[in-house]
């Protein structure tokens, strides 16, 4: 263990859909052997001699990154996720120290530079806090960056692991929140999560009723979908933010929908380490947690199939104690 590193046991590790993509090499970039897991909550069990931020016994978290170049313009601005040399992800990327493939949180411990270790507030339930390290920061960061504030009208596209957190954050920021969904049956659940309104996106009349209505759209849909009808629901200067889609837009985008109303189509990744700490503190202050279902690691393949079918509300979390059972 290096002088600036912390070793943490893994108490709870949440399961992200990207774990499936990597485990099954659906993005074509997987390197085996591969150990997924980048939403990790545990306790510090050892520290290097130069570690000053954390001590043995602290409750901590490790999210999607474990290193970056530390000196580029992005890193200097606390935006390590946009490191110009490329961040070192928690798993499946070359380690900057020894070149080995990083291994993630489906394990009983992990060693990480202290800069990439965050503090878990005491008010947060450990299991429910784990997904905040990815699903939480992925939805919180763009809402903060684009300045969502009290009175804004925010539409959330999709209500899975990301979408239900987006609803909670937008509501906590004081926005009027509307869920866009293909299923009318999700209306009651959406309102339980905090949504003020629900629009069934397959109903042309409902879509027309909110034309030119929204300041922001947070798009958490992870598969290619038609952006054009949603852009019509934005007011002038409105912003459509993609956080779930990293594939080509299909069908093609009609540029006039942007040009004629000075609308913005934007994208956002996770957040930097400082902002990840900020979202954890925000969640503790506002009583926000992720809705979870606990999982035995031996059921991970079954969990993957259920995730693909959308049969989880809204994040599986592995109880790492089952590794020792």
pLDDT, tens digit (0-9, with 9 covering 90-100), for 232-283: 999 999 999 999 988 889 899 999 999 999 999 999 999 999 999 999 999 9
Give the separation between CA 61 and CA 105, rounded to whole angstroms.
11
Of 277, 239, 39, nearest in space to 140 by CA: 277
Give the separation between CA 251 and CA 150, rounded to whole angstroms.
34
Q: Which helix (H) or strand (E) holds 65?
A: strand 65-67
Confidence of residue 157 (pLDDT cuts 50, 70, 90): very high
Instruction: Check: pTM over 0.85? Answer yes or no.
Output: yes
In the beta sheet, which residues pair with residue 238?
A: none
Of 21, 8, 15, nearest in space to 39 by CA: 15
Across the chain, what does the average pLDDT equal?
94
199 neighbors 210 (Cβ within 8 angstroms): yes
pLDDT, tens digit (0-9, with 9 covering 90-100), for 224-241: 999 999 999 999 999 999
| Radius of gyration for the alpha carbons in the chain, expressed in angstroms and rounded | 20
In the beta sheet, which residues pair with residue 42?
A: 60
Predicted pLDDT at 11: 84
Evaluate whether 5-134+271-324 and 138-267 have a shared fold.
no
DSSP 150-206: TT-EEEEE--SHHHHHHHHHHHHTT-EEEEEES-GGGHHHHHHHT-SEEEETT-HHH
Does the pLDDT value for residue 324 go beyond 70?
no
Domain spans, the chain: 5-134+271-324, 138-267
What percent of the chain shows pLDDT beyond 70? Answer: 98
Does the pLDDT value for residue 1 go beyond 70?
no
Give the separation between CA 172 and CA 169, rounded to whole angstroms.
5
pLDDT, tens digit (0-9, with 9 covering 90-100), for 172-215: 999 999 999 998 988 999 999 999 999 999 999 999 999 999 99
Residues in CB range of 137: below 8 A, 6 or more apart: 63, 270, 271, 275, 276, 279
CATH architecture group of domain 138-267: 3-Layer(aba) Sandwich (3.40)
Does the pLDDT value for residue 325 go beyond 60?
no
Fold of 5-134+271-324: Quinone Oxidoreductase; Chain A, domain 1 (3.90.180)
290 neighbors 132 (Cβ within 8 angstroms): yes
Helix (H/G/I), strand (E/B), else coil: 58: coil
DSSP 293: E
Give the separation between CA 199 and CA 218, rounded to whole angstroms.
14
Helices marked H in the chain: 17-23, 73-76, 126-129, 135-145, 161-172, 187-193, 204-209, 228-231, 256-259, 273-286, 300-308
Of 140, 151, 313, 315, nearest in space to 241 by CA: 140
Half-sphere exposure of 316 (CA within 13 A, CB side): 27
Give the separation between CA 195 and CA 177, rounded to whole angstroms.
5
Least trusted range by pLDDT, from 7-11, 50-54, 150-154, 291-295 = 7-11
When pLDDT is averaged across residues 97-124 and rounded to a whole number, the result is 94
pLDDT, tens digit (0-9, with 9 covering 90-100), for 66-97: 999 999 999 999 999 999 999 999 999 999 99
Does the pLDDT value for residue 318 go beyond 60?
yes
Give the separation between CA 304 and CA 282, rounded to whole angstroms.
30
Predicted pLDDT at 193: 95
Does the pLDDT value for residue 322 go beyond 80?
no
Cβ-count burial 187-197 (b if 16+ within 10 Å, e if not): bebbeebbbbb
């Amino acid at each position: 263990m290096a002088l600036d590193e912390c070793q943490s046991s893994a108490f709870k590790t949440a399961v992200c859909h990207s774990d499936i993509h990597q485990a099954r090499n659906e993005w074509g970039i997987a390197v085996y052997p591969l150990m997924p897991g980048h939403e990790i909550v545990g306790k510090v069990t050892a520290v290097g001699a130069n570690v000053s931020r954390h001590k043995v016994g602290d409750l901590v978290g490790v999210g999607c990154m474990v290193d970056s170049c530390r000196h580029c313009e992005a890193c200097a601005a606390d935006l390590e996720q946009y490191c110009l040399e490329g961040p070192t992800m928690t798993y499946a990327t070359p380690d900057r120290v020894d070149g080995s493939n990083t291994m993630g949180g489906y394990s009983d411990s992990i060693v990480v530079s202290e800069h990439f270790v965050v503090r878990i507030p005491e008010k947060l339930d450990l299991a429910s806090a784990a997904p905040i390290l990815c699903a939480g920061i992925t939805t919180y960061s763009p809402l903060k960056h684009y300045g969502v504030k009290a009175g804004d009208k925010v539409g959330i596209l999709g209500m899975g692991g990301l979408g239900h957190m987006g609803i909670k954050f937008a509501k906590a920021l004081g926005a009027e929140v509307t869920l866009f969904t293909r299923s009318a049956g999700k209306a009651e659940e959406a309102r339980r999560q905090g949504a003020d309104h629900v629009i069934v996106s397959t109903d042309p009349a409902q879509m027309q009723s909110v034309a030119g209505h929204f300041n922001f759209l947070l798009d958490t849909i992870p598969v290619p979908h038609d952006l054009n009808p949603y852009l019509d629901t934005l007011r002038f200067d409105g912003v459509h933010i993609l956080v779930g889609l990293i594939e080509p837009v299909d069908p093609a985008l009609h540029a006039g929908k942007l040009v004629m109303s000075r609308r913005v189509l934007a994208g956002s990744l996770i957040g930097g380490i400082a902002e990840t700490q900020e979202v954890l503190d925000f969640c503790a202050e506002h009583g926000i947690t992720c809705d979870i279902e606990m999982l035995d690691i031996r059921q991970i393949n079954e969990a993957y199939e259920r995730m693909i079918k959308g049969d989880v509300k809204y994040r599986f979390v592995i109880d790492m104690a089952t590794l020792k059972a």
